[in-house]
Amino acid sequence: MECPHLSSSVCIAPDSAKFPNGSPSSWCCSVCRSNKSPWVCLTCSSVHCGRYVNGHAKKHYEDAQVPLINHKKSEKQDKAQHTVCMDCSSYSTYCYRCDDFVVNDTKLGLVQKVREHLQNLENSAFTADRHKKRKLLENSSLNSKLLKVNGSTTAICATGLRNLGNTCFMNAILQSLSNIEQFCCYFKELPAVELRNGKTAGRRTYHTRSQGDNNVSLVEEFRKTLCALWQGSQTAFSPESLFYVVWKIMPNFRGYQQQDAHEFMRYLLDHLHLELQGGFNGVSRSAMLQENSTLSASNKCCINGASTAITAIFGGVLQNEVNCLICGTESRKFDPFLDLSLDIPSQFRNKRSKNQENGPVCSLRDCLRSFTDLEELDETELYMCHKCKKKQKSTKKFWIQKLPKVLCLHLKRFHWTAYLRNKVDTYVEFPLRGLDMKCYLLEPENSGPENCLYDLAAVVVHHGSGVGSGHYTAFATHEGRWFHFNDSTVTLTDEETVLKAKAYILFYGERQAKAGSDKL
């Protein structure tokens, strides 16, 4: 929005010596010393934390207004300051009096000058830090893949995602998708969309609550977020613009309560798929997909219309066979899927850890076998037999008719009881490499051995006891190294730690033909 308060609130020089030392995205709140979501006041250059941390930036504004309450309204309009602040990570500007993000500037362009100054400080700090890390790495052994900083193991060049208020479910999914190379590269290579015209054309777009529904693009904000995650220019990125668009087009995820990461992933992929079916700067997204040689027509799977990058990468096809137990009539139906939801077999549900001694460990193969095994439908799921012309007892069996390039497996850890949604906290053993899906195929003889092997790309983990509480993190592999993504914190980790995780969502990528032949 166009803010009328900039002239009375933006008073600091862009090269002010009052700014703290170090990287702006890591500045600490002057009250609570938190370095999460720092905001700088454009009146006095003091730094405070945002409203999703402890809210000291807003309190700084409110405290500044107290001495003015006895003034006349006209005097208050002239003297009120400390109303405008800037996010030290995304450089977006916010006015507390307007209660919205700001897109305009002062006559002297002070806001843009401050923004550029903060960007320069961030780049300088990053360059110095990278140089320091490079020296440390050069002095370490060749086998060392971890860098110790302040006693903790930290990742190099990886970027975290700031928690905007119980948004760990979104952060874990975004980090997982960003490490699926083919998927991420497709979006990062899309041309940028300029959503604004007129006076703000050419500037960075900051979404505000005053914008209409027609001015938001999930694909564009998703593209921007993926581009930011592996640039290595900052320790954490704030996905507030993407979260704003999510609120706009996915009403189920409005508010700041904890959400189900799997449910969010499905909504996200479905909406990306729908938007990709539309036009893009005069070019059909489907046409762009056809031009991409890595996503050939033979790999496409249509869901709700034309094929897109979503269905080309995640799309597979199931064959659902239902047999009437009375007359033997067989019914076959083909269903496209973007992920498979697997039950954890009931006999394993009391085993909570890998080393627990009471019985065998549940494996991913057990869950897949339970999904594809022949099942007799119970009385509540009677099949309408067209030959018998009434509902009859029947059996059901799933076959995979076509495997996707990226196989997404969701373990059904949350189950409704009479009043509660309980969590199944069973440990499920899963392979890092060589998940063999050939035995679940409808026609395995038509698939080469290399087309049925999958290697793990990412894992989403839920910590806690319930779907409405707890915390989500993700593990993902990038350039041969495993990372643990915990909101704004990213650390290097090892395969042993990944294998101990209680997986909720697993992302497996199709193995290239040149790889080895390990099998599950």
Annotation says 117 is catalytic: no
- The answer to whether residues 485 and 475 touch, using CB atoms and an 8 Å cutoff, is yes
Q: Which two tokens stand for residue 410?
A: 């969701």
For the chain, the 3-state helix, strand and coil shares in percent, each to the nearest 5, are 30, 25, 45
Q: Which residues contact 431 (CB under 8 A, 6 or more apart)?
A: 364, 456, 518, 520
Tokens linked to 61: 């504004």
Which parts of 277-331 fold into alpha helices (H)?
285-291, 309-314
Per-residue three-class SS string for 103-172: CCCCCCCHHHHHHHHHHHHHHHHHHHHHHHHHHHHHHCCCCCCCEEECCEEECCCCCEECCCCCCHHHHH
Please confirm, yes or no, whether 168 is among the known catalytic residues. yes
Through-space distance between the first and last CA atoms of the chain, rounded to whole angstroms: 55
DSSP state of 76: H
DSSP secondary structure of 255-287: SSS---HHHHHHHHHHHHHHHHTSEETTEEHHH
Q: Give the separation between CA 194 and CA 280, rounded to whole angstroms.
A: 11
CB 286 within 8 A of CB 307: yes
Q: Is 496 helix (H, G, I), strand (E, B) or coil?
A: helix
Name residue 10's amino acid. Answer: V
Tell me how far apart the alpha carbons of residues 307 and 5 are, in angstroms, rounded to a whole number: 48
Q: Which residues contact 281 (CB under 8 A, 6 or more apart)?
A: 191, 193
Residues 6 or more apart whose Cβ sits within 8 Å of residue 361: 348, 351, 354, 427, 429
Single out the catalytic residue among 3, 168, 362, 408: 168
Residues that are catalytic: 168, 471
